[in-house]
Structure formats: C-alpha cells, structure tokens
Structure 1
C-alpha cells in the first residue's frame, strides 16, 4: 500500500539509484513516466532537484533539502502502515529479505515454510546477495531484514539475532584430507582451492590465513556462488570453505566431506539477523524475525552437539 503521492516515491527511488533509467527498472515502469513525475515535482517546487550530469544525476541544494523531507515522510508512512497492520494482527503484510546464498539449503526454506504456514496471506520477496550488499540494502531500506555472515555493523543497522558457527573445509569424500578430524588452512593450501569472491564473508574470514600462509595462495577458481563452490568441491576440483549450515544431507549421503578448520576458533563465522535501526517494525516483520531466531537457535544447538 502506498499512501503518498507517486512523485515522492519516484523521487526517493531516483535518489537511491542515481539515474532515471535505473529508477524506472526498479519501479517497473517506463523511463518517460519517471522523468515526467520528476519534472512535475520540480515545477511544483519551483527549483531543479537534480543536476543532469554525463555520469548520472546529482542532488542540487534544493534537492538535498527536499530529500530530507522525503525520508521523514516515508518513515512516517512505514509507521502508519505498521499501526494499521497492528489492528489486523499478522494477517497480511509484505516482507523483503536479503540473505546469504549459503542459507538457501536449510535455514531459509525452513523459515519461510514456518512463516507461510502460520501466516499464509503474507507475501515474501527474497534476494540472495553478498554480506556487504546485504548491509547496504538493509541500511537503505531496500529490504526489511538481512541475514548474513560477518556483516559489518554500523549506526544504521541493528542485530536482532545471532549465532556462531565453525568454519570448515569441504571436499570430495575421497580427498586425502577428508578423513581428518580437523585440518589447518596451510594443509588445505597444498591442494587446489576454490575461494569465494571478496564480497562474501568467508573471503574476509579467510583473508588473515591466506596472508599468513607459508606459500602464496593461488586458488584455481574464485566464485560468487556458494552452490558452484559446493559442486566443485564434490567433484574433486578443489577444496572450498564454509560452515556446516546446509551440508547435513550431503555429508550424510557421503557426497561431500566437511572437515573443521583448526584455526576456526579465530575465524568463527557469525551469522546475524539485521534490521535498519530506529524503525518501527510491522507485525509481519516482527513475526518473521521471531521465526528466524527459532531456526537460528536450532542450528546453534546442532552446531554445539557436533563440536
């Protein structure tokens, strides 16, 4: 539900995206419609809100003043909608979640199944991103909730749930290191490695170990997809690294081996659930966070039982 003028919402999306073309893509409308709303708004205000530059749009001084007003208006809209939803309980609502791809196998499906079984009229949008992108999406208000590993905190983010999980090496069951109780990063680095791209939390966690390695670390593959890294590990292409989350069935079927990293006490992966600070949460989002924390607690207990 949108309870404010279309031009205000369009202006907000233009500010976030930096161009009319990108704003039109996000709004799923034609670029001319976005430009028309902007021109009408500038005509009503009597001042240009953006400088038109070759590389995109930049707020004018008038635009900066107006953007502060728009933030206040839209935050008030969220509060009003939340209060209206409170009258109905968690019967309806729309939630946007950004999550790490590694949560796709077990964590997120269980959360969404429970949420939709309890509140079938709630609509949920999911986005799979790296940790840094998730932080940006949550702090900008593009999504309601973010779930990510090793996400950098900040004044715009509030952690509403967290768990700590041991990092391990994953590999084919017949790999020479697969039968070990634990393994060091240097021992893994003697074999081909499949590493995550820098936007992923696991890359940041492993960076100190890579820098201290006895020999320069030269992965055979850098990947931006957790599932691809798992597949390459299962096929024996190289050793990859992640937590146990999402690996239970693969390890039980002996399709993949997980061996804890000996250094993982120093590079433990913190999985956190985040919202934007100082915002009123609609009932549907509050209910979702409670279910996410239930599932996170189950995973944390499972982690403790095998550590």
Structure 2
C-alpha cells in the first residue's frame, strides 16, 4: 500500500505567497524566511504531489495547470485556518479576525458603508476587505474561497452556493424630479423610449433583465451606456435621461426627493433578486459569521423601510 502523501501547513503558506507575488525572493521577504527555505518548501510540495506547480522563467514564476488546481485547494485550506485562529481568538475574548466581502455596486453606495461602520464599531479588531464586482463574477470568488460572503443581484442557483437571505425588488425608471415621467406612479418600457436613455452595459444584471428591450431600440436613439450604477445615478440626477435600477443605491436620493423611482409595469413587472451568499458546506470563520448576522439584520431593517409596496417579502434560510 502506497504511503499517504502529507502536505504541511508551512508549505501551503509558502506556495500561496509565491503564487501571489510571482517570486520566491519576494515571498521570502513577505514571510520573513530565507529564500532557500521557501524554495525547499515549494520543492518538497512538488515532490510530495509528484507534479510541477510552477513554470520557471526569466520573468518569474507562473502557475502550471496543476498549480492552478492546487491554488484553489490552498485558498480553501488557508481560509479554514483563518477560521480556526478566529475561533481560538474568540475563545480568548480577543474577537479579532478578517472578513472578505464581495458586493455589487448598488449596495456599496449606501447599505455597505452603513453596515461596515456599525460592525467595525462593535468589533474594532476585525478588519474588512471589500470587492465591488459584477454579479457574474461573484460565484467564482465565493466558491474558490477568495471571499467569505457575497451580496449580489440575480445569482443563478449553483450547487456550491448557499443563499442565506433574499428579497425581490421592482426594477424601475429613475429620473430627476423635473423629468416628464417623474409624476407617474408606473411606466412602461415603451414610454421610456420617448426620452434619452441611460443603459447598463453587459455584465450587470440590469442589462440581462432589459436585454430584449435594449435589442429593439433604434440605433439612432440617444443612449448613454455605463457599467457603473453610481455613474448611472449621477447621470439621472443631472437630467441626462432615464436610468434603470432598483431602489438599492438611491435610498437617500428618494428620501430627499432628488430622484424618482417609477416601477416598470409594462409589458410586465420586472423583479431583481438581491441575495446574501456563502460557499456551501463551509463553516464560516467566527468574524465572518458575526458579520453575516449583522449584514442580514441590517438588510432586514433597511430594506423593510425602503421597499415599495409591490416588492416581495424577504426569506431567510440556513
């Protein structure tokens, strides 16, 4: 019977650092280890696995196909190690740790700053990293362990993703108060084409919802396209045209009546689903677990006060 191959923690830390920095010399500086010691750890790892993990060249080190596969495993192992250290710290009463959050742009404008401020006030020794990305890239980051939790619109159901919280929001036309559509309580997509349009580029869930409508717009129509919800909001504020989004990201504008959100009801109501996601079958580090609980509590309170009457109720599952 072949002896089991053993992969030690030090080798994994060295591998991950070399992967990120692309150099054994830079990794040795970062880890405060001798270059020869880091090199031995990588060599030992390759010997244990019986495969080459890095391509060596004059430009540095790059991952082989096997190295990319092992990198995914290493990130999971290191995240689990962070969880262990966080649990030990929590037992000691230190409550320190680090959280990586991925969010789409809309919640990052108002919701996320408020949630992070509240959380870091309660737990000043816990640091937070925030990635603002499109929904399409979100599942990969969560499943690969690069982030602990994701907040995104319209993520498809995947076996490796666990949806902890979800709520539907009506997509609407967003205009300045002096816009001709501002007085309406509902609007059709066809009515919107009477005016200049501010549209989302591919990669955003809004574009996916409106793709059939977008494809029918005449080429000569006055259109501004952007991949930024924040920029879309500013363009609508300046009276540049009709933008499209949910109320998430324009809560303060609605409260101050500097923007109007008019639900789209024809040809039918268009709902966009905001959800909180983590990787399936993963026990979150203590810090991340605290953060997710705060995130969901804040979302329930915030969305409960700003959701229009035709939005659906939130559901919470574990």
Indicate how the Cα distance of structure 1 residues 9 and 208 shifts in structure 2: closer, same or farther if over 3 A, else same.
farther
Aligned to 1:210: 214
Aligned to 1:220: 223
Indicate how the Cα distance of structure 1 residues 141 and 171 shifts in structure 2: closer, same or farther if over 3 A, else same.
same
Q: Secondary structure at the match of 2:303?
A: helix
Aligned to 2:178: 174
TM-score, normalised with respect to structure 1: 0.80
* Alpha-carbon shift at residue 214 of structure 1 (Å): 7.1
Q: Is the 8 A contact 1:171 1:238 kept in 2?
A: yes
Q: Secondary structure at the match of 1:87?
A: helix
2:239, 2:40 → 1: CA distance? Answer: 60
Unaligned runs of 5+ in 2: 1-7, 311-318
Q: Secondary structure at the match of 1:261?
A: strand
In the alignment, does 2:295 pair up with 1:292?
A: yes
Q: Is the 8 A contact 1:166 1:264 kept in 2?
A: no
Aligned to 2:3: none
Aligned to 1:165: 169
Aligned to 1:88: 92
* Alpha-carbon shift at residue 187 of structure 1 (Å): 1.3
Q: Is the 8 A contact 1:78 1:280 kept in 2?
A: no
In the alignment, does 2:257 pair up with 1:254?
A: yes
In the alignment, which of 157, 161, 174 is matched to residue 153 of structure 1? 157
* Alpha-carbon shift at residue 9 of structure 1 (Å): 3.2
In the alignment, does 2:25 pair up with 1:20?
A: no
Unaligned runs of 5+ in 1: none
Indicate how the Cα distance of structure 1 residues 217 and 206 shifts in structure 2: closer, same or farther if over 3 A, else same.
farther
Q: Secondary structure at the match of 1:175?
A: coil
Aligned to 1:191: 195
Aligned to 2:43: 43
Q: Is the 8 A contact 1:164 1:300 kept in 2?
A: no
1:60, 1:129 → 2: CA distance? Answer: 26
Alignment of 1:93-172 (within 5 A): 93-172=97-176
Q: Is the 8 A contact 2:102 2:130 kept in 1?
A: yes
Alpha-carbon RMSD across the aligned residues, in angstroms, is 3.5
Moved more, 87-96 or 165-174: 87-96
TM-score, normalised with respect to structure 2: 0.77
* Alpha-carbon shift at residue 216 of structure 1 (Å): 6.3
2:226, 2:127 → 1: CA distance? Answer: 31
In the alignment, which of 278, 283, 299 is matched to residue 281 of structure 2? 278
Deviations 1:276-307 (A, max 9, x none): 12211122111111111112212332245544
Q: Is the 8 A contact 2:76 2:144 kept in 1?
A: no
Q: Is the 8 A contact 2:99 2:287 kept in 1?
A: yes
* Alpha-carbon shift at residue 86 of structure 1 (Å): 4.0
Q: Secondary structure at the match of 2:158?
A: coil
Indicate how the Cα distance of structure 1 residues 167 and 305 shifts in structure 2: closer, same or farther if over 3 A, else same.
closer
